[in-house]
Structure 1
Amino acid sequence: MRVSTGQIYNQTASNILQKQSETNKVLDQLMTGKRVNTSGDDPVASIGIDNLNQRNALVDQYVKNIEYTKNRLGVTEGKISSTESLLNSMREDLQRGANGSLATNERQMVAEDMKNSLNELMSIANSQDESGHYLFGGTQVNTIPFAFDANGSAVYSGDSGVRNSVVSSDVLIAANAPGDSVFMNAPNPLGDYGVNYLPSQQGDFTVESAKISNTATHVSGQYTFNFVDNAGVTDLQVVDPTGTTTTFANYDPSTPVTVNGLEVKLDGKPVAGDSITLEPQETVSILDSMNDAIAFLEDPDAVSTPQNKSKLAQLLNNIDSGQNQVSTARSTAGNSLKSLENLTSTHEDEKVINSSALSLLEDLDYSKAVTDYKQHELALDAVSSAFSKVGNMSLFNYI
C-alpha cells in the first residue's frame, strides 16, 4: 500500500494537535485546580456540579433573607421591649395616682408624667426603620400608623399585613409585627361586651364578665341594667336593644344573669338606683386604656366616688390585657429570631456538605495531574521529534 507524503504530514500533524490538546487540558486543570472545567471534561460530574452550585446559590439567598429578617425583627423586638417597660411604669403611675391620700395637685403631676409617657409610647408605635418605613404599619409602610382623633380615641391607619421572608424551602417567617396586633386588638377582659359605669352609682361593684353564651338567641346592641327597689329588696331590670325589659326579682350578684344569649356576672353589691350600660366590645387598645387612665387621674373625684372606683378596676383589667398582648408580640418576635438562628446553622451545615460534594466532583488530584502532564508532554516531544526526523529524510541522504 502506498502512503503519500501528504497523508503522512496530515496524520502526524493531527497527532501533534491531539497531544497538544491533551497537554493543554491538563495544564488548564493545574492552573484552575479543577478537574472539571467544562461539561466535556466529565458530563455526568458536570450535571452534579451545576445542581450543587444552584443549591448553594439558593442557600446563599436564604441566608441573605435571614439576615434581613433578623435585622428587622431585632429592631422590632427592641421597640416592643421598650414598650413593655414603659407600660409597666405607666401602670405603676396609675396605681400611685389612684392613692386616696394624694392631693389633687399631686395627682395632676402623676397625670402629667403619664402624658409624657403616652407621647413616648406613641413615638414607639410610630417608629421608622433606616429607610423611613414605619415598623408597625403592616404593609402600609409609608403611612404614619397611629394617632388620636378629636375624641381622644386611638386610630390605626395601617393594616394587618405581614411581610413574609422566604428563609428556607417552604419556610416563611414574618419580618414585621403589624401595629394592630401589638397596640390595638387586645382581648376584652370582660369577654364580648364593655361596661359604662354611670355617675349615679352608689354601690360597690364591678362587672366581672359579659360574654355571649348563645349566639343563636343573642341580640347585639346596648343593654341597660337598672337596679330598682322592690319592697326592700333589689330587683334587676335589663332593657335589651329592642326595648324589651326582663326583670330578675331579688337579684343575687353572685349568680350570673342571661338575657338574649348574653351572660353577665357582677362582683360586689349594687344598690337600688344604680345603673350601668353594656355595649359590644371584642377588643381593647392599650393606647386608649392609657389615655383613659390619664383622664381618670385628671378627674378631681378620681377615687372618691363608687363610679370611679369601678372604672379604675376596669382600667387596670384593660391595661393588663394590653400588656399581655404586647408581651405576646414580643415572644412571637423572639421565637422567630430563635428560629432564624437555627435555620442559619442548618444552612451553614448544608453549605459544608455541598462544598464537600463539590470538592469530590470537581477538585483536582494534583499528583495525578502532574504525572499526566509529564506523560503528555513527553509524548508530544516524542511525536514532534519523530515527525521532524521523518520530515527531513531523503533518498539523497543515502546515495
Structure 2
Amino acid sequence: MRVSTVMMFERSVSSMNRQQSAFMQVGEQIASGKRVVRPSDDPQAASRAVGVSQSLASNAQQSDSRITARNSLSQEESVLNSVSDSLTRAKELMIHAGNGTLSDADRQSMATELRGVYEALLGQANSTDGNGSYLFGGYQDGAEPFVKDASGAVQYAGSDQVRQQKVGSSRLMEVGNTGRDVFQTVAGGAGYVARAGADNAGTLTFTGPQVADTTASGYGDDYAISFAANGDGTFDYTISGPDGDTTGNYDGTSATLEFGGVRLTLEGTPEDGDALEVGTAKNMNPDVFATLENMLSALENPLDSDADKAAFANTLSTSSRETDNALDNVLTVRASVGARLNELDTLDTVGSDRKISYTQTQSDLIDLDYTTAISDYVLRQVGLQAAQKAFVDLQGTSLFEMM
C-alpha cells in the first residue's frame, strides 16, 4: 500500500473530527440533561419514550377532566343540600298545618310561606354551573329543565340522559343527575302511598298505608278502592288489583282493610262513588312540584264543610308521605354524588402514582446519568486533545525527510 503525505493528513483530520464529534455529542447531552437528544442516539429508547410521553399526556388530560367533574359534582352537592333544606321546611309546614285549631287565615298564611318554598325549590331545580349550563338538564343544558305550562304546573323539559365524562383510563363517570332523577323519582323501597279520589264528596279519611306482610300475595301491586252506598248507612267496597277484585262491607264509621300485604285504616263516611288509590310510590306519579301544588291548593281553600276538612286531611296525609319520599330520594342522590366525589379523590391518587411511574420510566429511557457523562466528557476531551496534538506533530513531518 502506498503511503502518501495526503493520506496521512486525511487520516489525522478524520480522527480529529471523530473525536471532536464525540466530544460535542457528550457536551450536548450534558447541556440538555438528556441521554437521548435525538432519535438517532438510541432509536429503541426514543420509540419507547414516545409511548410513555403519550401515556403522560393522557394521564394529564384525565386529571384535568377530573377537575371539571369535581367542580360540577360539588356544585350539584351544594344545590342538593339547599333542596334538602327546602323540603324539610315544607314538611315542617305540613305538620303544623295538621293542627285542628288553625283558622282559614292561618292556613292562608302558611300557604304564603309554602309558596316561597315552592318557588325556591323551582329556582334550585333550574340552577346553573359556572359555565351557564343547567345542572339538572342532562344533555339538554341550554334551556331551563323545569318550566311552567299554561295551567301553572311545573313540567320537566330536560333530557333523560345524564352527562358523562371520562375521568380515568377505563372510567366513564356521570357528572350530574337529571331533574327527573332528583325531583320526579322516589328512592327504592319508598313503600306505598294512598290518595283520595279528586271527586270524593264524603267525609272519608284514611291513615296509612302501612306494610303488614311483604311476603303476601299481591305485595308490590297497585290497588283501587271504590265505595257503593247500600241505603242503610253501610257501604260495599271493592278492592281492584291485578289479580282480580275483593269485596267487603264498610259500616260507614271506621275499619281497617288489609290487602296485598298492606294495611289501610278508614274513618268517616264516604259518598256513593267515592274512591281511593293505593299504590307503590314509584307508580303514583312522584313529582315534588305536584305534591307542593296540591298542598298549596288545599291550604288556600277555606274549609267550609266536613267534606272539605276530610279532603284537606287526605291531601295533607298524602302530601306529607310524598314529601318524605322526595326528601329520601334527594338524600339518596346526594349520597351518590358524595360517592362519586370520593371516587374522584381515589382516582387522583391513582393518577398521581401513575404519573410518578411514567415519569420514572421516561427518565430511565432518555435522561442523562451525569456521573457517567462527565467522566465520558473528560475522556472525550483528552482524546480530542491527543488527536489535535498528533495532527500538529504530523504537520512538521515529510516523507522526504525519511530518504
Pick the TM interval, shorter chain.
0.7 to 0.9
Structure 2: distance between partners of 1:46 and 1:147 = 58
> 1:181-237: CA deviations, max 9, x gaps?
01112369565985425442223424627999769xx9x9x9560143376654214
> 1:120-139: CA deviations, max 9, x gaps?
11111111122221111111
Out of 339, 344, 347, which is 2:343 matched to?
339
**CA drift at 1:31:** 0.4
Please state whether the residue corresponding to 1:256 is helix, strand or coil: strand
Which structure 2 residues correspond to residues 48-197 of structure 1 after superposition, within 5 A? 48-186=48-186, 191=192, 195-196=196-197
Q: Which residue in 2 is equivalent to 1:2? A: 2
Structure 1: distance between partners of 2:67 and 2:372 = 42
Q: Does 1:266 align with 2:264?
A: yes
Structure 1: distance between partners of 2:401 and 2:142 = 95
Structure 1: distance between partners of 2:270 and 2:103 = 32
Runs of 5+ in structure 1 lacking a partner?
Answer: none
**CA drift at 1:395:** 5.4
Give TM-score, length-normalised by structure 2: 0.85
Return 99-108 or 318-327, whichever deviates more.
99-108
Q: Which residue in 2 is equivalent to 1:383? A: 387
Task: Assess if the C-alpha contact under 8 Å between 1:228 and 1:237 holds in 2.
Answer: no
**CA drift at 1:100:** 2.0
Please state whether the residue corresponding to 2:373 is helix, strand or coil: helix
Q: Which residue in 2 is equivalent to 1:287? A: 289
Q: Kindly provide the amino acid, as one letter, of the partner of residue 299 in structure 1.
A: N
1:112 to 1:214, Cα distance in 2 relative to 1, 3 A: same
Out of 316, 319, 322, which is 1:315 matched to?
319
RMSD of aligned alpha carbons: 3.3
Give TM-score, length-normalised by structure 1: 0.86
> 1:252-300: CA deviations, max 9, x gaps?
9544357xxxx87522345463621449844311111112222121121
Q: Kindly provide the amino acid, as one letter, of the partner of residue 288 in structure 1.
A: A
> 1:163-197: CA deviations, max 9, x gaps?
11111121111111111101112369565985425
Q: Which residue in 1 is equivalent to 2:299? A: 297
**CA drift at 1:47:** 3.3
1:109 to 1:231, Cα distance in 2 relative to 1, 3 A: closer
Please state whether the residue corresponding to 2:181 is helix, strand or coil: helix
1:66 to 1:54, Cα distance in 2 relative to 1, 3 A: same
Structure 2: distance between partners of 1:31 and 1:140 = 54
**CA drift at 1:18:** 1.5
Q: Kindly provide the amino acid, as one letter, of the partner of residue 227 in structure 2.
A: N
Task: Assess if the C-alpha contact under 8 Å between 2:98 and 2:313 holds in 1.
Answer: no
Structure 2: distance between partners of 1:6 and 1:247 = 124
Runs of 5+ in structure 2 lacking a partner?
Answer: none
Aligned residues: 389
Q: Kindly provide the amino acid, as one letter, of the partner of residue 147 in structure 2.
A: A
**CA drift at 1:396:** 6.4
Structure 2: distance between partners of 1:83 and 1:38 = 59
> 1:37-65: CA deviations, max 9, x gaps?
22332333333322322211111111000
Task: Assess if the C-alpha contact under 8 Å between 1:197 and 1:277 holds in 2.
Answer: no
Identity of aligned residues (%): 26
